[in-house]
């Protein structure tokens, strides 16, 4: 199983999603969320290692599923900012400082 399939399985279990809903319904939400969060942070994030980014992605999928992404962006703007700062600092950290 690849990372996205694992993510969808975990998301389904946590949110008690009906087994009658196809994974394909969530696949595009996950891909869109990954693209959006990575773009804001300016780098590819490992969602298996970064638990805060993973939680943000889960919330993205939840709001996308309910067609509430505008509300999501308002509510989670601070989380985006925190990740952006984290990855900006990480990518600009040098050993000679």
How many Cα atoms within 13 Å fall on the side-chain side of residue 75?
10
Q: Give the pLDDT confidence of 8-39 residue by residue, as tens digits.
A: 999 999 999 998 999 998 999 999 999 999 99
> What would the pLDDT profile of 34-55 be if each residue is shown by its tens digit?
999 999 988 999 999 999 999 9
CA separation for the pair 9, 30 (Å, rounded): 12
The predicted structure's pLDDT at residue 97: 40
Q: What is the pLDDT of residue 88?
A: 85
Q: State CA 82 to chain mean position distance.
A: 13
Sequence-separated (6 or more) residues with CB below 8 Å from residue 43: 87, 91
What is the reported pLDDT for 75? 97
Distances (CA, A) of 88 to 9, 14, 51, 62: 31, 31, 17, 27
């Amino acid at each position: 199983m690849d990372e996205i399939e694992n993510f969808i399985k975990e998301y389904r279990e946590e949110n008690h999603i009906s087994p009658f809903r196809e994974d394909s319904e969530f696949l595009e939400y996950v891909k869109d969320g990954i693209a959006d969060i990575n773009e804001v942070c300016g780098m590819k994030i490992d969602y298996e290692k970064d638990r805060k980014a993973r939680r943000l992605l889960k919330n993205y999928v939840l709001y996308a599923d309910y067609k509430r992404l505008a509300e999501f962006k308002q509510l989670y703007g601070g989380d985006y900012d925190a990740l952006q700062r984290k990855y900006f600092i990480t990518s600009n950290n040098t050993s000679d400082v």
